[in-house]
Structure 1
Amino acid sequence: MRKLYLIIILILSITTTLQSPSAYAHTNNSEGYSLIEVNDNHINYELKVDLTELGHAINLEMGQQQLFDTKIVQDYVNSRIELYADSVKVEGTLEASDVETINDKQFAVMNLKYQLEDKPEKLVLDYNMFLDDSDPSHANYATVKLDGGQQEGVLSFESRELEIGEVSFVQTATQFLLLGLEHIFTGYDHILFVISLLFGAKTIKNNFTLVTAFTIAHSITLILATLDIVQLPGRLVEATIALSIIYVALINIFNPDSKQQPWLAFAFGLIHGFGFAGILSEMRLDGSHLATSLLSFNIGIEIGQLIIVAIVFPILLWLKKLTVKPATWVIPGASVAILAFGLVWFIERAF
């Protein structure tokens, strides 16, 4: 009877998940990347944005041919991106365009050139791509090179302006800490994996060792991937993350009395670290900004993870202490739902 109950829940969960677009991880948040290099008499701007989102913004079904319609694309970019060199606005000319696949998504790659009379001492970027017309959740990860220095920033609905040479250590640290928080709270696959681990934590000590093992592991691979020391294909990483959810959920369903082992959290944490590094690796961080950005980003992830643990684990302890013992059904039932999400994500990412 119990197995029949779980099978029914599994079927219903899979059906609901397949019908709901919001079930997929990392959706509804289009991304962009900017590499801006300031030279003596011109600025080179390599802009990468989601190809489909660009089509939505300019009301065209985007493809290779449409992307080479320089007039339409150039006018839209210049209307949404404003560059001020020493307080003087400059406009870009679309020199070349292409389509590139990043993390299994198609991106429009546009190379713009801004002609200058003299090399500026100060550069201000006002970024409004997609934010007001198609995707308010859009974020662009910008890298700017000026006078041998490099500066990174995250452009979003709340933070649209970047002043080159003006950002302090505190501002950089705060910005990437918030980015880490946002990444963990919008990474639903990571959240479900952590919750699944907590289902198998029998004591506070066991919970601490699991979380610590997972944290150490994903911090290692986050650093290695960001420094481009070790790289894995994005599709492989995302599919394996889904498998980690499936594996832990199955343990919670068919062996609910077992205690999750730290080695398991560590092993899967190594894979999750590559997933966390996806954004930072595209930003081409280097120099002194790398240490600040990487450390702040990782701290943001850890703070978000601790918040999740602080909310979920006390609830689980409370459920297990109740006389009625609802955890007998709550944890296996929730694990079935988590399993359904993992299966859908694996199919979506692997095939």
Structure 2
Amino acid sequence: MMKRLMLFFALLCGVALPAYAHKPSDSYLSLEVQGERITGQWDIALRDLDFAIGLDQDGDGKLTWDEIRTRHAAIAAYALERLGIATDQGACRIDTDQQLVDNHTDGAYSVLRFHAACPGPVTALTINYQLFADLDPQHKGLLRLTRDGATSTAIFDPAHARQTLSLTSPDRWQQFGAYVKDGVWHIWIGYDHILFLLSLLLPAVMLGVRGTPSASLRESFIDVLKVVTAFTLAHSLTLTLASLSLISLPSRWVESAIAASVVLAALNNIYPLFRGRRPVAAFGFGLIHGFGFASVLIDLGLPQGALLSSLFGFNLGVEIGQLCIVVAFLPLAFALRGTWFYRRLLTGGSAVIALVAVVWLAERAFDLKLISA
């Protein structure tokens, strides 16, 4: 019994311990092939560059245009040293054209525009992506590759830093699989999404009279199914609408609302706010969480054809990641439902989740740095 208690405590706290819960570190690399020449644009978050090479020269926690401009050469050198582009005939020479600043859904990005000259016609590209590999193992580079109006995509991370992409016959299944895996990973490191889901699932095995343990696993399973289905339908809806640019909300509003949803879902386990309507709450808050999921695809700016397959793959990955959490949670929670530990976890654990989410809410609403990395 003690081992099961420790395992369940690790399951809950393992996702609660990491302090940050904002959008993961991503960069957006766009390449357009024209004969033997490639024009590129690389959008890299200023917060990541500041951490890597130091942009905030006066240390006041704010970046000015002058501070960024004086570091243009350093930014270009740092980034391009970590990007390799080659064809079957050899390496392509990369030169910087221009540097700008642009706003994405999660903040300001350095926009590095460049061109690459390749030794011969480009039919396939081998890309070696090493940006932030030594600093952030969770960083991902999202690639959009275009030639003659056809677009293909790829996702780079330290485990898949070198990839070869065919321009004549792109591997659509490989691209689809990459977005499925990214969707799984996105939910697994989205600690706010996980804590929201766990807060809604904790009472599922305590559905007896006056909150006593459930009599059957079937009863708990049906309750979990209702909650997860409502959450899935809602976030799939807004993920699709936002990714297709049919609805757009400011990132700070979305992230703040997600934090607020975690607070309310956790407090519901201490004092019943939803009065037995957890599936309804899951659907309502799931609409907000969908906008958070969509930020990755929105910032990549994919054309309609490539967007639809990427959108489906990413959403499928989110559902798979979510299902894995439910499958790990429910049997263990049901086994522990009658113990003192679980009763304390339901209230005490929910109080801790609510406290962490309140801090997230303050950080996001007022642009503060309290516990986030």
TM-score normalised by length of structure 2: 0.81
Letter in 2 for 1:214: F
Query: 2:56, 2:89 → 1: CA distance?
Result: 36
2:159 alignment partner, SS class: coil
Match 2:20 to one of 8, 19, 24: 24
Contact 2:141 2:156 in 1 (8 A): yes
After superposition, give the CA deviation of every residue in 1:25-67 in whole Å (9 maximum; x if it has no partner).
137x522111111124532211011223224434554753454
Query: 2:114, 2:47 → 1: CA distance?
Result: 20
Which residue number corresponds to residue 350 of structure 2? 335
Contact 1:228 1:281 in 2 (8 A): yes
Contact 1:218 1:272 in 2 (8 A): yes
- Compute the displacement of 1:257 (Å): 10
Query: 1:171, 1:244 → 2: CA distance?
Result: 35
1:135 alignment partner, SS class: coil
1:254 alignment partner, SS class: coil
Structure 1 residues 337 and 70: CA distance shift in structure 2, 3 A: closer
1:176 alignment partner, SS class: helix
Match 1:184 to one of 187, 191, 212: 187
Which residue number corresponds to residue 241 of structure 1? 258
Structure 1 residues 36 and 260: CA distance shift in structure 2, 3 A: same
After superposition, give the CA deviation of every residue in 1:108-138 in whole Å (9 maximum; x if it has no partner).
1111122457652222221111213x32322
1:130 alignment partner, SS class: coil
Structure 1 residues 67 and 37: CA distance shift in structure 2, 3 A: farther
Query: 1:249, 1:181 → 2: CA distance?
Result: 24
Query: 1:126, 1:237 → 2: CA distance?
Result: 34
Moved more, 134-143 or 324-333: 324-333
Which residue number corresponds to residue 7 of structure 1? none
Contact 1:70 1:94 in 2 (8 A): no
2:301 alignment partner, SS class: coil
Moved more, 149-158 or 46-55: 46-55
Match 2:85 to one of 83, 86, 107: 83
Alignment of 1:119-134 (within 5 A): 119-132=121-134, 134=135
Which residue number corresponds to residue 97 of structure 2? 95
Alignment of 1:1-351 (within 5 A): 22-26=18-22, 29-40=24-35, 42-58=37-53, 61=56, 64-65=65-66, 67-68=68-69, 69-115=71-117, 119-132=121-134, 134-165=135-166, 167-201=170-204, 202=207, 203-255=220-272, 258-320=275-337, 322=338, 324-351=339-366
Query: 1:175, 1:239 → 2: CA distance?
Result: 29
Contact 1:253 1:335 in 2 (8 A): yes
Moved more, 266-275 or 47-56: 47-56
Contact 2:270 2:350 in 1 (8 A): yes
CA RMSD of aligned residues (A): 2.5
Contact 1:32 1:140 in 2 (8 A): yes
- Compute the displacement of 1:197 (Å): 0.8
Q: Aligned residues: percent identity?
A: 33
Displaced runs of 4+ in structure 1, greater than 6 A? none
Structure 1 residues 55 and 257: CA distance shift in structure 2, 3 A: closer
Query: 1:290, 1:148 → 2: CA distance?
Result: 14
Query: 1:251, 1:60 → 2: CA distance?
Result: 43
Contact 1:200 1:256 in 2 (8 A): no
Contact 2:227 2:282 in 1 (8 A): yes
After superposition, give the CA deviation of every residue in 1:75-128 in whole Å (9 maximum; x if it has no partner).
333321111144331222221112223234332111112245765222222111
Query: 1:117, 1:167 → 2: CA distance?
Result: 21
- Compute the displacement of 1:342 (Å): 1.2
Letter in 1 for 2:355: A
Unpaired runs of at least 5, structure 1: 1-12
Letter in 2 for 1:197: L
Structure 1 residues 257 and 170: CA distance shift in structure 2, 3 A: closer
- Compute the displacement of 1:148 (Å): 1.9
Structure 1 residues 236 and 71: CA distance shift in structure 2, 3 A: closer
Query: 2:164, 2:226 → 1: CA distance?
Result: 43
